[in-house]
């Protein structure tokens, strides 16, 4: 009988997507550093209460241009890991969809904070694509309303002040509890409850590897900490993991 193959869980944050042209939030050059007031654009209370904040938020989505971003070497490394046959689950704090676009099967990607590629009405819950909403903004609607009921549209992301989906969080916790290796990539491990998944994994006996340019809250608990750029470091780490699995 074959031995059980180790389950690898990878938690990814904004840092894995910066080489795709998507700025992070809390890093030295992140959105919050450049414009501390930008955080209110993705905070649910101000977003719902203030039309001006919504207008600025829609402009930000146009300027960030995440829809045209392409996967980078870090994303592709995880595809290589999945195709090696090792059991893999990716838990992502990102909303850019680049893991799926890179070739990872959707069933192996758990989007903890939702997706920026769709929008939803806060009143009637009807969903449509972000592409359609941004086309309306480009055509002159600075705060596009729901076409079905006139309600406020928001991206299908978990904004600050909103709770994570309980089912998604439960799935992520189960993966963290059962994995043998937990890799945190491009995240400072500060935003909870997602960041706490690293602790869950360690508490249940998993090895922890941190790949991030800046120090994180869990460096001391990690078996290995990698500070090199993610697009270089993650492919190297993946190749080492695959080689080790083959003896």
Instruction: Give the integer Cα–Cα distance in Å for 212 and 231.
Output: 11
Instruction: Give the integer Cα–Cα distance in Å for 12 and 242.
Output: 19
Parallel/antiparallel/unpaired status of strands 109-111 and 88-92: parallel
CA distances for 88 relative to 77, 79, 81, 198, angstroms: 12, 10, 8, 16
Task: Fill in the DSSP letter of residue 202.
Answer: H
Give me the catalytic one of 75, 99, 113, 117. 113
Task: Fill in the DSSP letter of residue 5.
Answer: P
* Cis peptide bond upstream of 135, omega within 30: no
Cβ distance 137 to 67 under 8 Å? Answer: no
Neighbours of 62 (CB within 10 A): 11
Contacts of residue 31, Cβ cutoff 8 Å, sequence gap at least 6: 23, 24, 25, 38, 39
Instruction: Return the SS3 of 155.
Output: strand
Cα–chain-centroid distance for residue 191? Answer: 11
Task: Fill in the DSSP letter of residue 204.
Answer: T
Reply yes or no on whether 113 is catalytic.
yes
Catalytic residues: 113
């Amino acid at each position: 009988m074959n031995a059980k193959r180790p389950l690898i869980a990878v938690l990814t944050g904004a840092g894995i997507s910066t080489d795709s042209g998507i700025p992070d939030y809390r890093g030295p050059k992140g959105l919050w550093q450049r414009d501390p007031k930008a955080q209110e654009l993705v905070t649910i209370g101000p977003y719902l209460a203030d039309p001006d904040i919504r207008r600025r938020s829609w402009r930000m989505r146009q300027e960030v241009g995440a829809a045209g971003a392409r996967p980078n070497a870090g994303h592709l490394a995880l595809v290589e890991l999945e195709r090696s046959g090792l059991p893999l689950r990716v838990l992502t704090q990102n909303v850019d969809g680049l893991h799926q676009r890179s070739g990872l099967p959707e069933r192996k990607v758990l989007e903890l904070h939702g997706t920026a590629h769709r929008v939803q009405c806060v009143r009637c819950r009807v969903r449509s694509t972000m592409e359609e909403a941004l086309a309306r903004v480009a055509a002159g609607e600075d705060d596009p309303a729901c076409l079905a009921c006139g309600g406020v549209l928001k991206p299908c992301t978990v904004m600050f002040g909103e709770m994570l989906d309980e089912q998604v969080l439960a799935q992520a916790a189960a993966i963290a509890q059962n994995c043998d290796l937990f890799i945190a990539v491009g995240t400072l491990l500060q935003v909870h409850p997602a960041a706490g998944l690293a602790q869950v994994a360690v508490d249940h006996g998993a090895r922890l590897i941190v790949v991030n340019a800046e120090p994180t809250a869990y460096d001391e608990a990690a078996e290995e900490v990698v500070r090199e750029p993610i697009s270089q470091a993650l492919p190297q780490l993946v190749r080492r993991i695959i080689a080790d699995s083959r003896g």
